[in-house]
Amino acid sequence: MTDSKYFTTTKKGEIFELKAELNSDKKEKKKEAVKKVIASMTVGKDVSALFPDVVNCMQTDNLELKKLVYLYLMNYAKSQPDMAIMAVNTFVKDCEDPNPLIRALAVRTMGCIRVDKITEYLCEPLRKCLKDEDPYVRKTAAVCVAKLHDINAQLVEDQGFLDTLKDLISDSNPMVVANAVAALSEIAESHPNSNLLDLNPQTINKLLTALNECTEWGQIFILDCLANYTPRDDRESQSICERVTPRLSHANSAVVLSAVKVLMKFMEMLPKDLDYYGTLLKKLAPPLVTLLSAEPELQYVALRNINLIVQRRPEILKHEMKVFFVKYNDPIYVKLEKLDIMIRLASQANIAQVLAELKEYATEVDVDFVRKAVRAIGRCAIKVEQSAERCVSTLLDLIQTKVNYVVQEAIVVIKDIFRKYPNKYESVIATLCENLDSLDEPEARAAMIWIVGEYAERIDNADELLESFLEGFHDESTQVQLQLLTAIVKLFLKKPTETQELVQQVLSLATQDSDNPDLRDRGYIYWRLLSTDPVAAKEVVLAEKPLISEETDLIEPTLLEELICHIGTLASVYHKPPSAFVEGSRGVQHKRLPGSAGSGESVESPDTGSAAGVSDAPPAVIPSQGDLLGDLLNLDLTPPATTGPPPPATSGMQLGAMDLLGGGLDSLVRFRRPVWLPAMKGKGLEISGTFARRAGVIQMEMTLTNKAMSVMTDFAIQFNRNSFGLAPAGPLQVLTPLSPNQSIEVTLPLNTVGPVMKMDPLNNLQVAVKNNIDVFYFSCQYPISMLFVEDGKMERQVFLATWKDISNDNEAQFQIKDCHLNAASNKLQGSNIFTIAKRTVDGQDMLYQSTKLSNGIWVLAELRVQTGNPTFTVSLAQQTVWSNHCSDCAANY
């Protein structure tokens, strides 16, 4: 007897018949009917019309019947919300049942009914269940909070369920802890800044205790949660590592990989000379190898992660090359991944083995795999110099097989080998030329043409070869056309006498008969060059080329660091940061590895530690008023990270302006930031920005916009020497490549310990920004107020004495209109200009003020205000001759 009997239908109409059976008096008949309904539901038939009849069966002592009805409810409650309310009473009653299984079942089902109207009724029973005496009920209730949060987040917060959930992290039962962590992690994903999982050494300790006792799935949740913690020091880091290592021997591969993640991250903090560090490295290899003996799907995910681990810490697996050897019956996705890792692990020590394997793979069935294997041989040659010769001879052997796609791949990689080791293997060119006719892929044709052009002087019939390509010029792809153009020009420069006709022909083909702007432009450039100055042309076209770099497909170090923090997640499979693909992840924080505690590691960028520290500090949601005013004084109108409370209702020109601008500030920000580097000058890179002083740190806030067509990477910044020794306090933090039409906000902290040189104007700053395209220079001016330090308040007595000491030469006087005294005082204090004293003399308000520059120079000021006349008279005094400039800046206020 099987369930397939539930699928039999009768002529009368299934629904009608089921309805009758559901309302039968006989228990057994009822149950059979519900089973039939469920069976229809599972295969996607619509049985929602039976809702009232099924719900009527809910009040029963028969647990199976109850479960079946619950199954039905969960499926159809959404489409029948009004009916679903009928079920509420039963749920509330079941939550009081003496049997914990029924209580848990009720609370579990409740959460799955995704109807807003019902959720309110469920809060009370849920609250009770969260405090239930039975841990089975508590752990079920913990998950229910996450379900409820998904339906109505506000309700969960208002009801205080989040706090109850946090309390459950300290529960005595490990399964309850694990489920609470799981629920909180899921909720936290939609609330990136909520700080829900507030990890401190105490909670960490509790999690570690629960880790040993909970189920495998619970261990995964706990380990993933642990990975977000940043230990205080290397000792704490070590003790966590010690307690996590036993998980590496778990049978569940997800547990193993999550443990690897925690260890990889916390290892960063351990000093490298520590014995334990070496032990840990050794312990990591076997579990990773074991992952490769699991099912192919698991292998695939493991391999993608190993790829990251190998790039970050090649020492872990350097002796395990053989486990990555490809087996005949591995699925293709596993084969390709293994191949990639083999190349990463290739070194002088194992290159012979690797090459023998790769050669073997080149005779496999799967074309994609064979191609990649051939390419891999080329990569080995470029990576391990000692092996280059052997690689080239292997490639030649493969060319002899005459298998079409093998030959083409081989030619493409040989081109790269030539570029890496010029003037070494050119003897093989003859063999390559023999295969000219079999090349039908653009990449291979282009590579071959490049080789012919580059070595035209050694190939006797280079002109004939190139001419043969020229016949079908218009049918070639752009790649080949461009390459052919260049190659013929090279040939002409090398053998001008016999190839004049050929070069004429290609130039006219490129410039007159082609629609492709790139081709046309390149054609014209060559043409002009050749016609105006053949010597210059020679220097340009035949210039010595830089060698190609060793490994071109390495993941960028900052991205790699972030991905290491995401081991075991989808990000690690895609090798992209989660922000690049997780939906609605506006708030996903970039994770960074913690800085190493030991002696400075060269691998790390110097600011890693501090960056991690900063991200740990609770984000300041409301900026201090000073900052806000400081910004206003700069006439910058940049609102801090979030819009703070409106400034106190003091009048004043700037504040008025702000009121006028009202809520439109955000949209104005970008517009108001002066453009420092226009896209025209920056080859598509546009930089606009401002300066600000926040919490005592001078910051340069820039918007980088990529207006070019290609991706920009490798950003760096430098300052020229300047008046106040401003210099970047860290590298430019552009983590991800900047794709076309994307802009990114960067904040660069500055310090004032750089070399000093007086500039004119004084606050001029010359900046150089570099990216993968070029280096760009621009200059900008920073407000002097940025340099006013926080401790610029002078003692009264000192002030008086100093004021007198300063000679009149260093004093300046001027007038400002339309200001109010108190407002001015407040505002000035906001930008670190401090009021020392206030007097009223002869109907004039006098304000004495001091400020100190970052280089230790004091500026003193006297403000005189005629009562009733909103005009200021400012006298400035300074110990040095820079006062003129300072008065300028004061005038800005």
Partner 1 sequence: MINSLFLISHSGDIFLEKHWKSVISRSVCDYFLEAKEKAGDPENVAPVLQTPHHYLISIYRGKLFFLSVTQTEVPPLFVIEFLHRVADTFQDYFGDCSEVVIKENTVTVYELLEEMLDNGFPLATESNVLKEMIRPPTILRSVVNTLTGGSNVGGTLPTGQLSNVPWRRAGVKYTNNEAYFDVIEEIDAILDKSGTTVFAEIQGVVEACVKLTGMPDLTLSFMNPRLLDDVSFHPCVRFKRWESERVLSFIPPDGNFRLMSYHVSSQNLVAIPVYVKQNISFLETGSCGRLDITIGPKQTMGKSVENLTVTIPMPKSVLSVNLTATQGTYTFDLTTKVVLWDVGKLNPQKLPNLRGSISIQTGSPKPEENPSINIGLQIQQLAISGLKVSRLDMYGEKYKPFKGVKYVTKAGKFQVRT
Q: Residue 111 Cβ, how far from partner 1 at the closest point, in Å?
A: 7
Q: Residue 593 Cβ, how far from partner 1 at the closest point, in Å?
A: 19
Q: Residue 424 Cβ, how far from partner 1 at the closest point, in Å?
A: 30
Q: Residue 717 Cβ, how far from partner 1 at the closest point, in Å?
A: 32
d(CA 876, CA 883): 7
Q: Residue 211 Cβ, how far from partner 1 at the closest point, in Å?
A: 12
Please tell me whether residue 684 adopts helix, strand or coil conformation: coil
Q: Which is nearer to partner 1, 515 or 583 (CB)?
A: 583
Q: How many CB atoms lie within 10 A of CB 649?
A: 7
Q: Which is nearer to partner 1, 401 or 892 (CB)?
A: 401
Residue 178 and residue 146 in contact, taking contact as beta carbons nearer than 8 Å: no
Q: What is the DSSP letter of 318?
A: T
One DSSP character per residue, 413-439 reads: HHHHHHHHSTTTSGGGHHHHHHTGGG-
Residue 79 and residue 114 in contact, taking contact as beta carbons nearer than 8 Å: no
Q: Residue 414 Cβ, how far from partner 1 at the closest point, in Å?
A: 20
Of 239, 173, 166, 221, the residue nearest 198 (C-alpha):
166
**Residues 696-721: b if buried by 16+ CB within 10 A, e if exposed:** eebbbbbbbbbbbeeebeebebebbe
Q: Residue 264 Cβ, how far from partner 1 at the closest point, in Å?
A: 15
Residue 537 and residue 526 in contact, taking contact as beta carbons nearer than 8 Å: yes
For residue 829 the two structure tokens come to 């204090």
Q: Which is nearer to partner 1, 28 or 795 (CB)?
A: 28
Q: Which is nearer to partner 1, 175 or 877 (CB)?
A: 175
**Residues 253-267: b if buried by 16+ CB within 10 A, e if exposed:** bbbbbbbbbbbbbbb
In sequence order, which residues have a C-beta less than 8 Å from that of residue 670 and are 6 or more positions away? 688, 703
Q: Which residues pair with 677 in a beta bridge?
A: 687
Q: For residue 742, count CB atoms less than 10 angstroms from its CB and return exposed for 0-12, middle for 13-18, buried for 19 or more.
A: middle
In sequence order, which residues have a C-beta less than 8 Å from that of residue 51 and are 6 or more positions away? 76, 80, 83
Q: Which is nearer to partner 1, 155 or 675 (CB)?
A: 155
d(CA 725, CA 722): 5
What is the end-to-end Cα distance of the chain in Å, rounded?
A: 90
Q: Which is nearer to partner 1, 204 or 403 (CB)?
A: 403
Q: Which is nearer to partner 1, 364 or 416 (CB)?
A: 364
Residue with tokens 């009770």: 128
Of 112, 109, 107, the residue nearest 137 (C-alpha):
107
Q: Which is nearer to partner 1, 109 or 883 (CB)?
A: 109
Q: Residue 90 Cβ, how far from partner 1 at the closest point, in Å?
A: 17
Q: Which is nearer to partner 1, 419 or 575 (CB)?
A: 575
Q: Residue 651 Cβ, how far from partner 1 at the closest point, in Å?
A: 50
Q: Residue 304 Cβ, how far from partner 1 at the closest point, in Å?
A: 8
Q: Which is nearer to partner 1, 31 or 383 (CB)?
A: 31
Q: Which is nearer to partner 1, 123 or 254 (CB)?
A: 254
Of 191, 79, 86, the residue nearest 586 (C-alpha):
191
Q: Which is nearer to partner 1, 140 or 558 (CB)?
A: 140
Q: Which is nearer to partner 1, 290 or 747 (CB)?
A: 290
Q: Residue 361 Cβ, how far from partner 1 at the closest point, in Å?
A: 10
Q: Residue 376 Cβ, how far from partner 1 at the closest point, in Å?
A: 17
Q: Residue 195 Cβ, how far from partner 1 at the closest point, in Å?
A: 19
Angle, vertex CA 177, rays to CA 173 and CA 180, nearest 5: 140
Q: Residue 449 Cβ, how far from partner 1 at the closest point, in Å?
A: 27
Q: Residue 137 Cβ, how far from partner 1 at the closest point, in Å?
A: 10
In sequence order, which residues have a C-beta less than 8 Å from that of residue 731 and are 6 or more positions away? 605, 606, 607, 716, 717
Radius of gyration of the chain from its Cα atoms, rounded to whole angstroms: 36
Q: What is the DSSP letter of 638?
A: P
Whether a cis peptide bond, with omega within 30° of 0, leads into 761 is yes
Residue with tokens 């081991």: 567
Q: Residue 330 Cβ, how far from partner 1 at the closest point, in Å?
A: 8
d(CA 83, CA 55): 9
For residue 729 the two structure tokens come to 């306090």
Question: Which run of H or of E encompasses 670?
Answer: helix 665-672
Q: Residue 531 Cβ, how far from partner 1 at the closest point, in Å?
A: 50
Q: Which is nearer to partner 1, 144 or 270 (CB)?
A: 144
Q: Which is nearer to partner 1, 125 or 652 (CB)?
A: 125
Q: How many CB atoms lie within 10 A of CB 758?
A: 11
Of 733, 724, 765, 769, the residue nearest 886 (C-alpha):
724
Of 367, 510, 338, 547, the residue nearest 441 (C-alpha):
367
Residue with tokens 């590895």: 593
Q: Which is nearer to partner 1, 362 or 704 (CB)?
A: 362
Q: Which is nearer to partner 1, 109 or 203 (CB)?
A: 109
Q: How far is CA 588 from CA 166, 584, 594, 609, 745, in A?
A: 21, 9, 18, 20, 16
Residue 834 and residue 767 in contact, taking contact as beta carbons nearer than 8 Å: no
Q: How far is CA 49 from CA 13, 16, 41, 52, 83, in A?
A: 13, 10, 12, 8, 11
For residue 122 the two structure tokens come to 């469920």
Q: Residue 434 Cβ, how far from partner 1 at the closest point, in Å?
A: 19
Q: Which is nearer to partner 1, 160 or 331 (CB)?
A: 331
